[in-house]
Structure 1
Amino acid sequence: MKIKRQKHAKKNLNFYKHNFRFREPYQVLLDGTFCQSALKNQIQIKEQLPKYLMGEVQLCTTHCVIKELESLGKELYGAKLIAQRFQARSCAHFQSPVSGSACLLSMVADDNSHHYFIATQDQELANKVKKRAGVPLMFIIQNTIVLDKPSPKSVAHVQALQANQLLPEHQKHNIEHLKDEQGVSQVTERGGRKRKRVGGPNPLSCMKKKQKNEPKPTTPAPERKKKKRKRKNKPSVNPTA
């Protein structure tokens, strides 16, 4: 099960790497709900996330998330302690904090130029994240961390670039690879599809077949002329001798 889970994570991660230029160290923004769920399920985020993503990871949050956890009282005290261990990225709400979900959404605005992952258990926040292209979503399910598959918005974004021939060079290799897996013909550099040339008939098939065991024509041998044998005359015998 662990191997299968990492295989799916690698496939989904490669989508963002090839199409949206995600690189290590991966920056993961966590909210209070994710920290609380990790505490409840005894998940060591700092140890398990790098192993799951198979690369270097930077765990971070925002001041708004920490302020929200502090305002919720003792029930989320443990989640607040976990969040405080991570880097607090500066946001636009330092003087007037907003809710954690609103703050994280603002961090992935402008096409997610900083390449953040969003880790949350808030379903409402997750639905809003899926409406933005190029934002990987992570959550905890059945005591394990899961990287969600690319959202329809992200897939449609890549397909639109391809259709309008605006696909950057770094994405062409990934698209061609996906086409090969699906059995679709490759696209040439000029943008057209390869056409099969119509060839003529096989010249060998046009040749007449040789008839087997065909008797060879025989020519009559020339008649030999019989030589006439000359008869020699016997000498006459003289009776008087």
Structure 2
Amino acid sequence: MKHTKQRRRRKAVTFYTACYGFRKPFKVLCDGTFVHNLVVHRVDPADRAISNILSAPVKLFTTRCVLEELKRLGRSHSEALATARSFAVARCDHEGKTKADSCILEVVKENNREHFFVATQDADLRRKLKEMPCIPIMFGLRNVLFLEQPSAAQRKYAKDSEEERLHISEEERKMLEKKTGVILASTKPKHSDEEEDLAGQDGYKAVAEKTQAVKKGLGVKDKPQFKRKKAKGPNPLSCLKKKTHGNEKPTSEKEKEVNEGHTRSRGRKRKRLRKSKKPLVMD
């Protein structure tokens, strides 16, 4: 079950990253109810807990209106106020005079340009945020944090925007037609007689060159040219002749020639010592 939840969270994060351009480190906009839930259930440190859910580094934000609302709630939310003051403050023009939920809706309007993840425990606020196209929502259940799956409205908006990007707009089509007309006019020959001569002599060649010029002007490429591998010859080192060393003829042939010529190699002569004969002495 744990792996299934992790896979769902990873899919949701990938959806917002691919379709709406969210980038790391992710920005998480927290309201007072969410911060209070973190404090009550001792989810500390908050940035590490949220980072584990999103599998990425995060930066926590709040607004002045949220801080003022926590301040008005008194001692029961004093610890939550101290925690919220450690977060970065997102820019809003209310100066703490608006309700926290209205302030957050104002900050993330216009397609959530700052790419905020909104963390809240307010069910009404979460329902309103689901109707907006590109706002990921987080909430806590006791000491466990959750990332909501993209709603049907968010998925439909992403699909429509993708189809819109695949087709050119009316203005782009008019610009393309205008550019094409200018290029065709510049490549058109000035005299009709010249065109007839070309058709009579090298008509096919002229038409081919003209087509290439138009394609080059429009930035259209021909069919991809693949490099054909040339046939390689044998390894030149394997074609070298075998080297001969010193004796060209084998020893057996050499001995044969020596025997035929009645020549004989004389080896080292052994010296023999002869005993000298002493004369016999007659008594």
Bucket of the pairwise TM-score, normalised by the shorter protein: 0.5 to 0.7
Are the aligned partners of 1:161 and 1:167 in contact in 2 as well (CA < 8 Å)? no
* Alignment-mate amino acid for residue 47 of structure 2: K
> Match of 1:191?
none
* Alignment-mate amino acid for residue 57 of structure 2: E
Are the aligned partners of 1:62 and 1:88 in contact in 2 as well (CA < 8 Å)? yes
**How much does 1:5 deviate?**
2.4
1:56 equivalenced with 2:37 (yes/no): no
Instruction: Go from structure 1 to structure 2 and tell me whether the alpha carbon gap of 1:165 and 1:85 turns closer, same or farther (over 3 Å shift).
Output: closer
> Match of 1:143?
143
Instruction: Go from structure 1 to structure 2 and tell me whether the alpha carbon gap of 1:71 and 1:20 turns closer, same or farther (over 3 Å shift).
Output: same
* Alignment-mate amino acid for residue 50 of structure 2: L
* Alignment-mate amino acid for residue 40 of structure 2: K
Instruction: Output the aligned Cα RMSD.
Output: 1.8
Instruction: Go from structure 1 to structure 2 and tell me whether the alpha carbon gap of 1:72 and 1:166 turns closer, same or farther (over 3 Å shift).
Output: farther
* Alignment-mate amino acid for residue 67 of structure 1: E
> Match of 2:84?
83
Residues 21-78 of structure 1 show CA distances to partners (whole Å, capped at 9, x for unaligned) of: 1000100000000011111222121221112211110101011100000011111112
Instruction: Go from structure 1 to structure 2 and tell me whether the alpha carbon gap of 1:80 and 1:19 turns closer, same or farther (over 3 Å shift).
Output: same
Instruction: Go from structure 1 to structure 2 and tell me whether the alpha carbon gap of 1:167 and 1:108 turns closer, same or farther (over 3 Å shift).
Output: farther
C-alpha separation between the residues in 2 aligned to 1:8 and 1:15? 11
Instruction: Go from structure 1 to structure 2 and tell me whether the alpha carbon gap of 1:124 and 1:118 turns closer, same or farther (over 3 Å shift).
Output: same
Instruction: Go from structure 1 to structure 2 and tell me whether the alpha carbon gap of 1:142 and 1:74 turns closer, same or farther (over 3 Å shift).
Output: closer
**How much does 1:88 deviate?**
1.1
Are the aligned partners of 2:37 and 2:142 in contact in 1 as well (CA < 8 Å)? no
Equivalences, count = 167
C-alpha separation between the residues in 1 aligned to 2:66 and 2:114? 18
Task: Give the structure with the larger helix fraction.
Answer: 2
**How much does 1:82 deviate?**
1.2
C-alpha separation between the residues in 1 aligned to 2:121 and 2:48? 19
C-alpha separation between the residues in 1 aligned to 2:167 and 2:90? 32
* Alignment-mate amino acid for residue 83 of structure 1: A
* Alignment-mate amino acid for residue 17 of structure 1: T
C-alpha separation between the residues in 1 aligned to 2:134 and 2:167? 15
Residues 163-207 of structure 1 show CA distances to partners (whole Å, capped at 9, x for unaligned) of: 545589xxxxxxxxxxxxxxxxxxxxxxxxxxxxxxxxxxxxxxx
C-alpha separation between the residues in 2 aligned to 1:29 and 1:151? 19
Unaligned ranges ≥5, structure 1: 169-241
1:119 equivalenced with 2:119 (yes/no): yes
Q: Secondary structure at the match of 2:150?
A: coil
* Alignment-mate amino acid for residue 29 of structure 2: L
> Match of 2:3?
3
Where does 1:5-84 land on structure 2 (aligned, <5 Å)?
5-44=5-44, 45-84=46-85
Percent same amino acid at aligned positions?
Answer: 31
Q: Secondary structure at the match of 2:17?
A: helix
> Match of 1:232?
none
* Higher RCO, 1 vs 2 (CA within 8 Å, ≥6 residues apart): 1
Q: Secondary structure at the match of 2:149?
A: coil
